[in-house]
Amino acid sequence: MDMDMIDLINKQRLLDTFLELAGINSPSFDERAIGAFLVQRLERAGCTVVVQEYDRSFNLIGVKQGKNPDAAPLLLSAHMDTIEPTEGIKITVDDEMVRSAGQTVLGSDDKSAIAQILEALDVIREQDLAHGDIEVVFTSAEEKGLFGAKNLDYRGIRSRQAIVMDSSGSVGKIIVGAPTHITYEMRITGRPAHAGIEPERGLSAIRVAGAIISAVPDGRIDPETTANIGIISGGTATNVVPKEVVLHGEIRSHHDGVLIRTRDLIFDTARKIAESWQSNLEIQEHEEYRKFSLSPEGPFMELLKAAFRRCGMEPALTLTGGGSDANVFNQHGILAVNISTGMQKVHSTDEFILKRDLYDGCHVLLQCITAMGDLKQQAVQVTSDL
């Protein structure tokens, strides 16, 4: 296959599909409407579809049989949900781009990926292109903590290689590493008192929290590690010395040792400060997802890089500070590479995607799918342990 494959893409249909998807409100844990649309489109493209329910939502798994039984199956994945606000979404389309009108997000995260996958499947069906087995996984509630991927039934997934389409920026970026992400909650308990009558009898949990926030590491710790306190809640009234404050924070790192040292420093510092104020401190932590680190070499990575080059792009291998379903897939032994779809300024009301990137993303995907027909199943080596 060569660069002429882009001529097989029905650009108007791809754009129309994206606009239709963007117009379906699908916040996390409320993906039923978009799910019904996707079941129809997957079946139309020749996929057998399974709706995999879990306690809070569901995942869609579509399987399209290939003509080469010896080829390695390929997993294609995107998530159905979007962050809010999306209710009453308004979109502006011009000659170059599709963007939010400014009151809501656009939803190109991750509906640009879904549209590219659907168009690629339609082209394969229409043109009878050779390919191996394709497994399509559309997950739910990715934006709330990768819930769909964490609850996916991996017993039915045959693919050991996956393309996750959930990275922002112009098409051409390949994510080869993402961090481990832990979150924590600090519950600080002081002593309430009337602020106007006997403040001396109180112990302000807010002041203790302020001392902790001022002292712990924050922001960019090193090039591959970050820390942040993002939510503060507490107090009941201006005339009450606040009894309780809750801090919610996170730490991310590509290096296990640095993450653990940073966590310990934050927690130990907080405990010492709380003790010095004679206040009580409770800390709970949770691992959101584990890091992965992929070799830039190997058959699958070489296949991806060659696909980009056939599309006239030099692939950019990079690390990210964010997480995606690729973290979870890699943790389950699937070599999952996250690639950019062209979405820009995601998670904001300035979100947009260039039409050129929407088309290029589909072009790259087609090149990858057809090339997989010549790739045998490979052993997967992924670094993901904490």
**Which amino acid, 336?**
A
Closest by alpha carbon to 347, among 106, 33, 87, 61? 106
CB-based contacts of 213, cutoff 8 Å, min separation 6: 229, 232, 247
Neighbour tally for 86: CB within 10 Å: 19
Neighbour tally for 264: CB within 10 Å: 10
- For residues 167 and 162, give the distance between their C-alpha atoms in angstroms, rounded to a whole number: 14
Q: Are 370 and 303 spatial neighbours (Cβ–Cβ below 8 Å)? A: no
Residue 377's φ and ψ, nearest 5 degrees, are -60, 130
Q: Considering 31, 81, 119, 143, which one is annotated as catalytic?
A: 81
| 81 included as an active-site residue | yes
Distances (CA, A) of 154 to 80, 123, 203, 207: 18, 28, 51, 47
| 360 included as an active-site residue | no
Four-CA torsion 307, 309, 314, 318, nearest 10 degrees: 20
- For residues 327 and 169, give the distance between their C-alpha atoms in angstroms, rounded to a whole number: 19
For helices 355-371 and 11-22, angle between their N-to-C axes, nearest 10 degrees:
110
For the chain, give the number of residues. Answer: 386
Q: Considering 109, 142, 325, 357, which one is annotated as catalytic?
A: 142
Instruction: Categorise residue 159: left if φ over 0, alpha if ψ from -120 to 50, beta otherwise.
Output: beta
Closest by alpha carbon to 188, among 227, 259, 246, 111? 246
Active site residues: 81, 142
